[in-house]
Amino acid sequence: MYRYLLCICLGWLCCVFSVAAQTPLLQKKVSLSVQGSTLEQALKTLSERYQVDFSYSNEVINGAKKVTVNAQNQPLSEVLNQLLRPTGLRYSTIGNQIVIEPAPKKKERNKVTVSGTIRDKASGEALAGATVLVMGQEELGTGANAYGFYSLTLPEGRYTLRANYLGYATQDVSLQLNQNQTVSIELSPMAAVLQEVEVSADKDEQQVMDSRGGRHLLPMQTIRKMPAIGGESDAVKSLQMLPGVQTANEGTTNLSVRGGSFDQNLILLDEAPVYNPAHSLGFFSVFNPDAIQSVELYKGGIPAMYGGRLSSVVDIRMKEGNRKQNMASGGVGLLASRLTLEGPTFQGNGSLMIAGRYSNPGVLVNGIGELGQLAGLYSFNNFTGGNEISFYDLNLKTNYKLTQKDQLYFSAYTGHDHFFYFDVNGRSSMDWGNTTATFRWNHIYNEKLFSNATVLFSHYNYAYILKDEVRYFRWTSNLQEVDAKIDYDYFVSPALHLQFGGALNFHRFFPGKVAPRNDQSVTKEVLLPEKQALEPALYASAIHQVLPRLRVEYGLRYVPFLTLGPGQSYVYASPESDTPQDTLHYQSGEVMQSYQRLEPRVSVQYNISEKGTFSLSYNRTNQYLHLVTNSSVGLPTDVWLPSDRNIKPQIADQVAAGYMHQFKEKIWQAAVEVFYKDMQHVVDYKDNADLFMNGQIETQMRSGRGWAYGAEFLLRKEQGRTTGWLSYTWSRSERSIEGVNNNRPYFSGFDKRHNLSITLAHQLSARKALSANFVYTSGRATTIPESVYFYGDKPFVQYSERNGYRLPAYHRLDVSYTLQQKRNDQRRWKGEWVFSVYNLYNRENYFNMFFKQEDYSYSSIKAYKTFLFGVLPSVTYNFRFI
């Protein structure tokens, strides 16, 4: 027993002496200064200078990285740490000897995946595009897809996830990850959590200006802060306040993006294309704000999953409906009235939303015109009586949670317009409408793979009624589209998100039918043959966080296009020929003409600092559908046609570079972006073209090159009682087409050199808010007659160069004032009054200019200006009942 205790004591004393011997060696103060030296040379220097004995293998030392150390009078242990840190080696002591050896490999932690859905806490609706960050590792994060699904793969451990979405309070979730987990997150709308008038936003909140460049996300919370003309803040009109986007003309919500025509924009409502987004007079688009959740615009860096248009994509998502409680909302106003009902269904496993809107502005227009004439102020507003202007919208959306991994959605829209405006054309009226339906199935395969299968239908019909007593007829036309597609999201890691899928789109075109409306009409019935086309597509893309500061999105889209029989195709000797040399006949389903194109896309974002981001993008797009029009307004008489033997697909290559900077604690954002877009096979009509009901309309069309370039500026204030943004765009848009303008380049009808927009919202108090919009654009380019000459008794008009004349500049100021009822959280009914004035200072902006020859004299041609309306006040009462 004593021997055993003696051995223990002696062993303990040896350890003590050993440690005592080691301590002075490692604490010895040394100095070493080496720059890019080998480790072996640095150790020899220490050994020779301070008599330190090192032991190591040559294989280990020779493979080590070169070292740089500048240490003055520091402990040997600290100097060794500096030397060995970049080499992957470690040291230990045995007596007075220091041993250098490879450090043992760390045991890798198992990786696990956390996934789930991000939803609105109040309604339970999914928040598309919300982001999730790993706190303390901000370079790690991901974005939710279009259905709010996110996925993050991380090593085992404890984490705090931060979820955020524009207009919502951020939510932090702490969790211990030991295995794959499903964590759904609910975010509270900002309006529900703010108790003061001061408007604030989290520093990590998403921004309206996307750092990826050329992209803007506008949730309805942001849109509703804009002036509510007619009591409604419109989803599409809000886009016109962004840089690079402008309205095609007064009286329409059609968009021109970066110098492109309005038919070059792909406008989607729950993935279904909408071919005419405008309602009568242009106050409202076809998208009822009470039925819309968010609007996202892509004008550059377009993802590979989108295709079919040259200039932009506007992705509009409808609300799913409140999953947690029944509610009603709506408004009653002079311009429009609306009602929305929503609530949970299937015992809480789904929801339903139904929205309707009706407007009869013709009554208001007639009334204001009569009052103006009674007061002797006809110029106060260009309204006369007898106008018939009305429209309606109906939206429906429902969903059902089939299983924990399966969700079904169905959404539909239909709307119709009737337009007879005496001062535009007292001899004709127009009707048009859109109908869409979308059925989707979301499936979660596992924590990383998500799919969305979609079948959709889109129908656009339009009609023109001539009320001439002699030619009394009705012209009708329509366009239908049926699509089936599937999209996959694969979250490989926090640094890599893959998207891939395919689609099959079937188009049917009904170019037109003219039929007399009574027996007295001299018009004979004419029917143009239908056309059909098939448009398959495959795509794959990646969102890749290459480095903590470098993010790259790249992808490829492959799109064939086939024009199908039955039908006939004419063969011409040249593109300028009007007489066919041959006629080719095709049976049903036979391929008449085919094309196939590859569309590469790439977008790069580099975070220069925490506050500044540089972006660079390139994308190629193809457009196989063409709008035949001689109007810059976008009237329903325009005709859609597919690419065929004689009309080639349009192609665009666009490059853009931008910089975004946040300052003043991210209260302010500033961005600048420059772009250049080169277009091939853009179409225009030849001089003196005959477009109406022409069975050989290709003889009236010409194609060539187009280009547009410019610079866009945006300044936005994020927080405070006063918020808003200022945008300015300088741009040019030109065309060069053989057979048009004597083969000389000319400005496109969408060339507007200067485009300035200012949007401001000021919270006067907790109940009162004031907002204003101001827009200014350069005058639209147009073609006018310059002279008239006679051949015998027949007059001939000599026109200016194509778009060689500029209309006066367009500018307008809109204001609105909102008064909410007194706040009472216990009250189920919540209401507000919205007072608005469109065109406050009564600017008479041109809608159209037309020319009329009074007699056969040289001076008899006179120009007449048409403007739709001047100042237009409105009042609306909005309500919400829970």
Neighbours of 659 (CB within 10 A): 17
Using one digit for the tens of pLDDT, what is the confidence trace for 758-782?
A: 999 999 988 899 999 999 999 888 8
Give pLDDT, residue 804: 85
Q: Is residue 544 helix, strand or coil?
A: strand
Give pLDDT, residue 142: 86
Burial 336-359 (b: 16+ CB within 10 A, else e): bbbbbbbbbeeeeebbbbbbbbeb
First to last CA, the chain: 85
Q: If you write DSSP's letter for every residue of 199-228 in order, what string do you get?
A: ----TTS--SB-TTSSEEEEEHHHHTTS--
- Number of helices (H), then strands (E), in the chain: 8, 54
Percent of the chain with pLDDT over 70: 85
The tally of CA atoms less than 13 A away on the side-chain side of residue 62 is: 3
Closest by CA to 759, choosing from 719, 720, 729, 717, is 717
pLDDT at residue 545 greater than cutoff 60: yes
Q: Which residues pair with 98 in a beta bridge?
A: 54, 93
Q: Where are any strands of DSSP class E within 631-700?
A: 639-642, 650-663, 668-685
Neighbours of 860 (CB within 10 A): 12
CB 845 within 8 A of CB 870: no
pLDDT at residue 467 greater than cutoff 60: yes
Q: If you write DSSP's letter for every residue of 249-269 in order, what string do you get?
A: STT---EEETT--GGGEEEEE
3-state secondary structure 87-137: HCEEEEEECCEEEEEECCCCCCCCEEEEEEEEEECCCCCECCCCEEEECCE
Q: What is the mean pLDDT of the chain?
A: 83
3-state secondary structure 428-469: EEEEEEEEEEEEEEEEECCCCEEEEEEEEEEEEEEEEEECCC
Q: 83-92, 296-305, 393-402, 563-572: which range is least confident on average?
A: 83-92
What is 215-881's CATH topology?
Maltoporin; Chain A (2.40.170)
Residue 221 C-alpha from the chain's centroid: 16
pLDDT at residue 560 greater than cutoff 50: yes
Give pLDDT, residue 268: 96
Q: Average pLDDT for residues 193-202, to the nearest whole number? A: 44
Q: Which residues pair with 491 in a beta bridge?
A: 497
The band of 860, judged by pLDDT with boundaries at 50, 70 and 90, is low
Which residues of the chain are in CATH 2.40.170.20 domains?
215-881
- What are the tokens at 528? 């143009």
CB 647 within 8 A of CB 701: yes
Compute the CA torsion angle 250, 251, 256, 260 (nearest 10 deg). -90
Which DSSP state fits 643? -
Q: Average pLDDT for residues 430-437, to the nearest whole number? A: 93
pLDDT at residue 167 greater than cutoff 70: yes
pLDDT at residue 738 greater than cutoff 70: yes
pLDDT at residue 369 greater than cutoff 70: no
Using one digit for the tens of pLDDT, what is the confidence trace for 101-157?
A: 887 766 666 888 999 899 988 888 888 888 888 887 766 788 888 888 999 888 888
Closest by CA to 327, choosing from 168, 122, 166, is 122
Residue predicted with more confidence, 13 or 779: 779
Q: Does domain 111-193 have CATH number 2.60.40.1120?
A: yes
H or E element at residue 593: strand 591-607
Q: Where are any strands of DSSP class E within 719-867?
A: 722-736, 746-747, 754-763, 768-777, 781-782, 785-791, 794-799, 805-806, 810-820, 829-838, 848-853, 861-866
Burial class (CB in 10 A: 0-12, 13-18, 19+), 375: exposed
Neighbours of 368 (CB within 10 A): 18
Burial 809-839 (b: 16+ CB within 10 A, else e): bbebbbbbbbebeeeeeeeeebebebebbbb
Task: Using the Cα atoms of residue 367, residue 851, residue 841 and residue 261 in order, give the sign of their dihedral.
Answer: positive
Q: Average pLDDT for residues 345-373, to the nearest whole number? A: 80
Q: Is residue 157 helix, strand or coil?
A: strand
pTM: 0.82
Amino acid at the residue 732: R
Residue 195: partners with Cβ closer than 8 Å, 6 or more residues away = none
Round to whole Å and give the CA distance between 360 and 418: 10
User: What are the helix (H) ranges across 301-430?
Assistant: 361-374
pLDDT at residue 22 greater than cutoff 50: no
Q: Average pLDDT for residues 723-745, to the nearest whole number? A: 91
Question: Which own/partner pairs from 458-461 qualify as long-range (CB within 8 Å, at least 24 positions apart)?
Answer: 458/272, 458/273, 458/274, 458/275, 458/434, 458/483, 459/434, 459/435, 460/274, 460/275, 460/276, 460/432, 460/433, 460/434, 460/435, 460/640, 461/432, 461/433
- What are the tokens at 476? 């009708």
pLDDT at residue 455 greater than cutoff 90: yes
By residue count, the chain amounts to 882
β pairing state of 89-94 and 67-75: unpaired
Which residues of the chain are in CATH 3.55.50.30 domains?
18-102
What is 18-102's CATH topology?
Phage tail protein beta-alpha-beta fold (3.55.50)
C-alpha distance from residue 605 to each of 136, 166, 613, 614, 662 (Å)? 21, 20, 7, 6, 15
Round to whole Å and give the CA distance between 244 and 651: 20
Q: Average pLDDT for residues 798-812, to the nearest whole number? A: 85
Give pLDDT, residue 2: 41
Round to whole Å and give the CA distance between 631 and 639: 11
Which DSSP state fits 66? P
C-alpha distance from residue 144 to each of 141, 196, 440, 544 (Å)? 10, 30, 18, 15
Give pLDDT, residue 384: 58
Q: Average pLDDT for residues 554-567, to the nearest whole number? A: 95
β pairing state of 701-717 and 722-736: antiparallel
Round to whole Å and give the CA distance between 567 and 531: 7
Which residues of the chain are in CATH 2.60.40.1120 domains?
111-193
pLDDT at residue 195 greater than cutoff 50: no
